[in-house]
Chain A
Amino acid sequence: MKNKKQILVVDDEEDIRDVVRVSLEIFGGWQIITANSGFEGLQIAKTTALDAILMDISMPDMDGFKLCAALQADPQMQQVPVIVLTAKVLPSDRLQFAALEIAGVITKPFDPVTIWRQVAEILGWAV
């Protein structure tokens, strides 16, 4: 497949990384890179051309907020659309997301078959 979308998935939960990777690769047809922490994700983002980043919020050491801030601080990385993939679903949690420069939020648990569509719709990609 030519010009395959390359998406970085950052989550400290290995099982969730696996499920997301399988879902987006199989059903979305995209190329998935995974990172198990904010630090690792930032390193990958700095060195890899990415079409989008799906990141968890609750992660040790560098959580999603810090990772977003780090991405925004870099002119190149700030161009990459970010989707938060989170289990934080309360209104108070959502208020915190409003301050982030992100393209959208997908809540956990998600449908592994349709999550790719959600991603595409948020990012305005043709499905």
Chain B
Amino acid sequence: MGIPTYLYWLWLVPTFDGSASDDWPIGPVLVGWSVAVFLAGVGGGRISRLGSRLLPGGVGVSQLSLEGKRQQAEEALKQSEILNRAILAALPDLIVRMHRDGTYLDIKPATSFPTDLPNFRVGENIQNVLPPKPAQQYLTAAATALKTGEIQIFEFPLMVRDQQIWQEARVLPLNPDEVLMIVRDLTQRKQAEEALKEREAMLRAIGDNLPKGYIYQRVYEPGKGFYYAYVSAGIERLLGLKPEAVLTNAQVTRTVGFAEDLAIADRAVQESLKNLSPIELQMRNCTAQGEIQWSSIRSLPRRLADGRTVWDGVEVDITDLKRIEAALRASEEQFRRAFDHAPIGISLVSPTGRFLKVNACYCELLGYSEAELLKLHFQDITDPADREADLEGLRQLLTGEIQSFQMRKRYITKQGAIVPVYLNAALVRDENGQPLYSVGHIQDIRDRLKVDRMKDEFISVVSHELRTPLTSIRGALGILETGVFDHKPEQARHMLHIAINNSNRLVRLVDDILCLERLASGKVDLVMEPCQVDELMQQAIDSVQTLADEAGITLSMTPLMTQLWAAPDAIVQTLTNLLGNAIKFSMMGGTVWLVAEWIESGAAQEDSAQWVRFTVKDQGRGIPTDKLEIVFEQFQQVDVSDSRKKGGTGLGLTICKRIVQQHGGQIWAESRLGEGSEFYFTLPVVRTSNKKP
């Protein structure tokens, strides 16, 4: 009959635009949400010739009024049917015409999902095809659609080939007994939605469970400004701000920040907004307890098609890290200071002997700059005589035979001088036991060696000074013992005289050595107490009066009636010593003066305290200028024989010097050869009253 076998297509094309085209991609012909409806002939497969194109906005039915045109119309209808069937075939959806009792009347299989359900064929009832629940949903929807004339839409899951799929059904009324079911597969969309929900849940869980931090999404929208689109719950724990408050007003985050940090952050955000550069900041916040909390903020910007800029970011608490960093910096700074300012030279040397690091003392000791030393090996500056021993020490360190070694060695400075040092070296290894570097401490022992020499010299001198009178005593007594002078009383007495004189000399010497040693070692503290200066002077005068009388020397004293805070016995000892020397070196008939007077602080005294100066003046032979200072050193008499001739020990002035120094004073001598000498010493005055005596 030239008419399509049993179907005519009627297109229903909604008037709305293609905003939903993503949901229903059924081709370019159907703009937006379009439904193709096919009508079956009602009853016994007869065809209602209603099928024709319905133009957008309404339904049209071609009318054939003239028989002559019937052929033309039928041809047009045929062409239209072909087109419609082609379009229908291209639709991805399953389209089913169903009777209200659930019988499938027509089926257009889906192209986008499998429809090979058992019994799925025309003439079968839906209740024999689908599980009860979806089957009932369809029947209900069909009844509702037929009753209301409105499209019914619902989604349902279905197991196909042991896989769950999601479908969306749209049920439209066709006529009072039939509905059209358009079924679309939603599985992918559902899966995507599930995945999205999962991701959102995961993101929320991460954000809410950040131990000390939160995640956020911040948005800049032209014309609207900045706002937060998302803030995880952790912000309340971190900043004490409720997420809702931040979402409502982004400015509240600024209430906990520091102005200078916020200014830096603002610049970074503006830069990021301009260049889409990542934001990385470290900012301080003020906690509710008033403490500083450090945050690390990182976010990545992206520009949306609508012009908004979105930063997905995270802010985490790094206060502990900052504290550790600060502690580490402090520790490193301490180490650096200890290294740089150590009073001994410290070097780090590679296993090959090259300097890796040296401190200031090391550089100063060797006369090289740090840069110069870092180009050298330690062998380069080691005295050739010590290289072998030093290298052997390093070798044993590297092989693990020893953990450290010490040696005395000599370095050669940049200026060519030889510096004796005491080296203490140890090896530092990495966690795998591999040698990293050796740490060397070098101690300049020039002073120590000098002290050792001085000590040796002192012992030598003391030994000599003790042995000299002992030699005379031993010799004289030894001779007497033989009896050779038994009948020569004059010689015998001479020998006895030698022995006695030298015994006395020995006693004085031992006394002075012990006195000096006690003063030097501090074993005996000078007991300070208020002393009358005039009384101290008188005691000293009294002590030497006999000696002066025997020598025919007149003693003259100019006392000072004041008090001193001093050790009286020590001061009297000092005065007695100076007076004794003055008497011994004076000619008979001469005068020795002892004067005490106030002096104001001058060049010799740095502070403004008042001082008492004692002067012992004689008219003796005088002291050469070059010996004015060394006479205060041990066994440094102007004339070695003075100790014998004058009965001195060579330690008297040294003892005087120590005593005066321990009182905080100074001692010195002035002299003119052949005219006499003046010995001075000063003592600070500790006032007991404001009134000057």
CA distance in complex: A110, B476 (Å): 11
Q: Which 4 A-B pairs have the closest CB atoms?
A: A19-B475, A87-B467, A108-B471, A15-B472
Q: Which stretch from A39-47, A69-77, A88-96, A97-105 is at the chain B interface?
A: A88-96
CB of B494 within 8 A of CB of A87, answer no
Main secondary structure of the interface of B (DSSP, over half): helix
Name the segment of B69-77, B285-293, B478-486 touching the other chain.
B478-486
Q: How far is the CA of A13 from the CA of B501 in the complex (A)?
A: 12
Q: How far apart are B183's CB and chain A's nearest CB, in angstroms?
A: 117
C-alpha gap A105/B466 in the complex (Å): 18
Residue pairs across A and B with CB atoms within 8 Å: the count is 91
Contact A87–B468 (Cβ < 8 Å): yes
Tell me, in angstroms, the Cα distance from A90 to B468 when the chains sit together. Answer: 14
Q: Which residues of A contact B482 (CB under 8 A)?
A: 27, 113
Q: How far is the CA of A67 from the CA of B304 in the complex (A)?
A: 108
Contact at A58–B471, with CB atoms within 8 Å?
Answer: no
Q: Tell me if A20 and B456 are in contact (CB < 8 A).
A: no
* Contact with A59, one of B467, B475, B640 (Cβ below 8 angstroms): B640
State whether A93 and B460 are in contact (beta carbons under 8 Å apart), knowing that A15-B501, A58-B640 are contacts in the complex.
yes
**Can you give 15 A-B contacts (C-beta < 8 A)?**
A13-B641, A15-B476, A15-B501, A16-B468, A18-B494, A19-B471, A22-B475, A60-B641, A88-B464, A90-B459, A92-B457, A93-B460, A109-B473, A110-B474, A112-B474
Is there an interface contact between B456 and A109, defined as CB atoms closer than 8 Å?
no
**Cα–Cα, bound, A109→B456 (Å):** 20
B475 x A110 contact (CB < 8 A): yes
> Could you say which residues of chain B place their CB within 8 Å of the CB of A34?
none
The residue from A22, A26, A87 contacting B471, defined by CB atoms under 8 A apart: A87
Cβ B463 vs Cβ A90 within 8 A = yes
Asked whether A112 and B460 contact (CB < 8 A) given A13-B472, A16-B472, the answer is no
CB contacts (< 8 Å) of A16 on chain B: these are 468, 471-472, 475
Contact with A along B586-611 (1 / 0, CB 8 A): 00000000000000000000000000
A109 x B471 contact (CB < 8 A): yes
- B window 217-246: CB within 8 A of A: none
| Cβ-defined contact, B470 with A109, below 8 A | yes
Indicate whether B649 reaches chain A with its CB closer than 8 angstroms. no
B468 adjacent to A92 (CB under 8 Å): no
- Residue among A15, A58, A107 having the largest count of chain B Cβ atoms under 10 Å: A15
Q: Total interface residues on A, using CB and 8 Å?
A: 29
One of A15, A90, A108 near B460 (C-beta < 8 A): A90
Task: Knowing A13-B644, A19-B471 are in contact, say whether A88-B460 is a contact too (CB < 8 A).
Answer: yes
Interface residues of B in 632-665 (CB under 8 A from A): 639-641, 644
CB distance from B510 to the nearest CB of A (A): 15
**CB-defined interface of B366-410 with A at 8 Å, one 1/0 digit per residue?**
000000000000000000000000000000000000000000000
Q: Are A15 and B640 touching (Cβ within 8 A)?
A: no
Closest beta carbon of chain A to B594's beta carbon, Å: 30
Q: Specify the chain B residue showing the minimal Cβ separation from A89.
A: B463
Contacting pair A89 B479 (CB below 8 A): no
**Nearest Cβ on chain B to A10's Cβ, whole angstroms:** 13
Q: Which residues of B, 612-649, contact A by the 8 Å Cβ criterion?
A: 639-641, 644
The answer, yes or no, to whether B206 is at the interface (CB within 8 Å) is no
Is B347's CB within 8 Å of the partner chain A? Answer: no
Q: Is the CB of A22 within 8 A of B479?
A: yes
- Which A residue sits closest to B470, measured CB to CB? A109
Contact A60 B640 (CB under 8 A): yes
Is B152 close to A, CB under 8 A? no
B309-344 residues with Cβ-Cβ distance < 8 A to A are none
**For the complex, is A111 an interface residue (Cβ under 8 Å from B)?**
yes
B641 lies within 8 A of A112 (CB): no
From known contacts A15-B472, A92-B460, infer whether A109 and B639 are also in contact, taking CB-CB under 8 Å.
no
Q: Least Cβ distance of A54 to chain B in Å?
A: 13
- Chain B positions within 8 Å of A121 at CB level: none
Q: Is the CB of B498 closer than 8 A to any CB of chain A?
A: yes
In the bound assembly, the distance between CA atoms of A12 and B472 in angstroms comes to 12
